[in-house]
Structure 1
């Protein structure tokens, strides 16, 4: 059966008090609307249409990699109006459409699947997602007859008996597309708010004798975000879920409460992660790694047996059994080889560093290709920028770079060569050569006395 989705993401979100659309605020490193899109795709829904309005261009920019469709809601006139704005997307389609909010990032993939399966198996016209809550104040109540929904009653309209009902409407739906399109034509905004309510579609379908069902899920699955406090609540819930998945998969988290792992991160078993680490994006960490405290890793590949401490690694690759840090900065598009050493206060930018190479401390390597088995002395700088353009330095295998060396790019250092400490290298060093590029020391006798500087 054909499946598609509408994601309602047109509102600004007044209570969140932000200059950017509410749905672009992040939970565990990913925008809320992208959580919803990804969950839909992971539930087997290929065609996703996002209803946009406030901050439309920003929402498009942040979701463009998801290859979704868009419908514009110029005026925000209720949830029914938002769905009406997606009619062109739905026209001519035969199947089911899931309708979810872009500010509800916590709905599990299996919950979406359960909703669609219940809808199909019971031949419903619409199936709602619901949850039981201790205090349903403010929520619409689900009034049932067995497994069939009779109606949804808003809190303010409930009778005394209906107020006792603990099952609330989560405002997440699965509709038969053709039934929805017909019902939208009959939807009215004849109410005090002058808005079109999607819940009114339920009444329209019931009046025609159509079957309406509901799937009960955990309350956490249904939480929407309308304020910074709710954003923090969603962050905590999702972080705990993610951390528990990794714990179940054989990863040790010394303190899960201070460990922040993104939804798309993969971590191998027997890896140990210490407190105060942030691991984001599509990072992949291999087996048997040790991530010591205070590191940030984003969109990077960390191969097995790597140790990282108090360092930043962005969009890069670290080879197996390499050590990084403390206080190293691996900038985007860098590749570090196997069994290498990137030490304290070392910065690598858009460079390749070969296997078994040691860059132990206080060194900058930018736009360079470094061979295997090299040793960098303290204070080495690859001077790759002339004020207009970046230039490349190539360093061969088994080279020794003395302390306080400047390599003025573009320059090439041959295999098995040595550079004396304090040298500034401006031309090619052939294989096996020793390069010395510094002024000869000269001592001026009695200079301090002559200058009257003796203390």
Structure 2
């Protein structure tokens, strides 16, 4: 289907009371604008044009970060002066030369719109029955939405705004305008210049295209959303929270249908781009952000925040913050572990209570059980790190590497001052400060001699 999506993202969003672009505000960790663009891509639109305006640089940056490698190019066109939706669409058409095929105009603040809705909406034009179509819905409370008046054949007679509705119309006209439109591209390009700004706001309104196309002898219909939530928009922080809850429920319902267990679905926030394998259990207060991937038979949470994490099967990730890390099968983390970017934990390894790991490889079956910091380290298999041990990897100017060989045993309260290598099978005595390489199979001790002065404590107390 040779359809184009024009996404309107130029508005100020003053009711959000924010110094940021409204569409940069996230739902389940994903900016609103990206929800809409992703839906258009998944709907197989062949061209996507985003009209930016207020906070244009911020919105462009979001798009550049997310779609640099997208097979469907995402273009931006700037509406320097916000003169209404009709003006925005005209600028997009003039800048891109779009003049054929179905053109779907979407609001960037409709994050819940689903790809199938967009695809079918565009198809209503591609099939040639109508020259234009309005996306409609029947929300439980229609107050505030424009009402659609239809004739006997299902064509639009007019759109009546809430402020213009009589009590009778408000009661009987329940079909509401969701604010998205689809047009035949050639007719849209040919007639967009007829929109006028003779109104109180002196703006060019895209809904005027309905009357313009009808006056040209064309038929304009509707496409009704089966799920009214597709047409819900975000203008306030309260609506952002409301739609986040809806998105959460949709994502969690899909995952449960695929075989994932949620102890309390209302207390788990999973990115729409995350993947979770079957028979994994998600405990309350678990957050999966970005493109997290979790295998089968895992335990996630409670109180875990995992951003762009790749985890294998059988992992237990309890009360852990992990960012840009890879966990192989049967890894155990937490409670209260912090895994920073670049961490790679091999099969059967462990990061225990109050452990922080950064840019390090933890070997197969190796354990960092508690109260330790491991940074810039390559650790072999079967290593045990005692409580309170740290790799001193930063000299104030540069980071240095630590290497710990297979089967090494690191005693509690050990400082390993990088760069340093501890050999395979080596033993390091507790409370040592290791500044030199330790050979394979050796014992390393670094302690001051313990002195005992008999009777000192009793004498001190007597004197006091």
The match for 1:113 is 119
Query: Structure 2: how far apart are the matches of 1:191 and 1:260?
Result: 44
Taking structure 2 as the reference length, the TM-score comes to 0.94
Counterpart mapping for 1:347-426 below 5 A: 347-426=356-435
Aligned to 2:148: 142
Match of 1:274 among 283, 296, 300: 283
Moved over 6 A (4+): 452-455
**Residue number in structure 1 paired with 2:106:** 100
CA offsets per residue over residues 228-282 of structure 1, 9 Å max, x none?
1111110111111011001111111000111111111100000011111111110
Aligned-partner SS, 1:86: helix
Whether 1:295 aligns to 2:304 is yes
Shift in Å at residue 94 of structure 1? 2.5
Give, in whole Å, the separation in 2 of the partners of 1:135 and 1:288. 42
Q: Spell out, residue by residue over 1:356-377, the C-alpha distance to the aligned partner (whole angstroms, 9 max, x if none).
A: 0011111100011111100001
Show the counterpart of 1:327: 336
Local SS of the residue matching 2:354: strand
1:257 match: secondary structure: helix
Q: What are the residue-to-residue correspondences of 1:34-73 with 2, within 5 Å?
A: 34-65=34-65, 66-67=67-68, 68-73=74-79
CA displacement 1:272-303 (0-9 Å, x = unmatched)? 11111111110011000011311111100111
- Kept in 2, the 8 Å contact 1:12–1:20? The answer is no
User: For residues 87 and 404 of structure 1, do their structure 2 counterparts lie closer, same or farther at Cα, with a shift above 3 Å needed?
Assistant: same
Q: Gapped runs of 5+ residues in structure 2?
A: 69-73
Count of equivalent residues: 455
Distance in 2, matches of 1:43 and 1:134, equals 27
TM-score (normalizing by structure 1): 0.96
1 CA distance for matches of 2:261 and 2:375? 34
Instruction: Return the alpha-carbon distance in structure 2 between the equivalents of residues 338 and 128 of structure 1.
Output: 54
Counterparts of 1:374 and 1:258, CA distance in 2: 37
Whether contact under 8 Å (2:9, 2:52) holds in the other structure is yes
Does residue 196 of structure 1 match 2:204?
yes
What's 1:8 paired with? 8
| Match in the other structure for 1:232 | 241
- Residue 444 of structure 1 deviates from its aligned partner by 3.3
Measure, in 1, the Cα distance between the counterparts of 2:442 and 2:4.
67
Deviations 1:393-450 (A, max 9, x none): 1111111111111000111111111111111111111111111122222223444466
CA–CA separation in structure 2 for the residues paired with 1:453 and 1:186: 102
Q: Give the Cα–Cα distance (whole angstroms) in 1 for the partners of residues 119 and 442 of structure 2.
A: 67
The root-mean-square deviation of aligned C-alpha atoms, in Å, is: 1.7
Match of 1:165?
A: 173
Q: Is the 8 A contact 2:2 2:46 kept in 1?
A: no
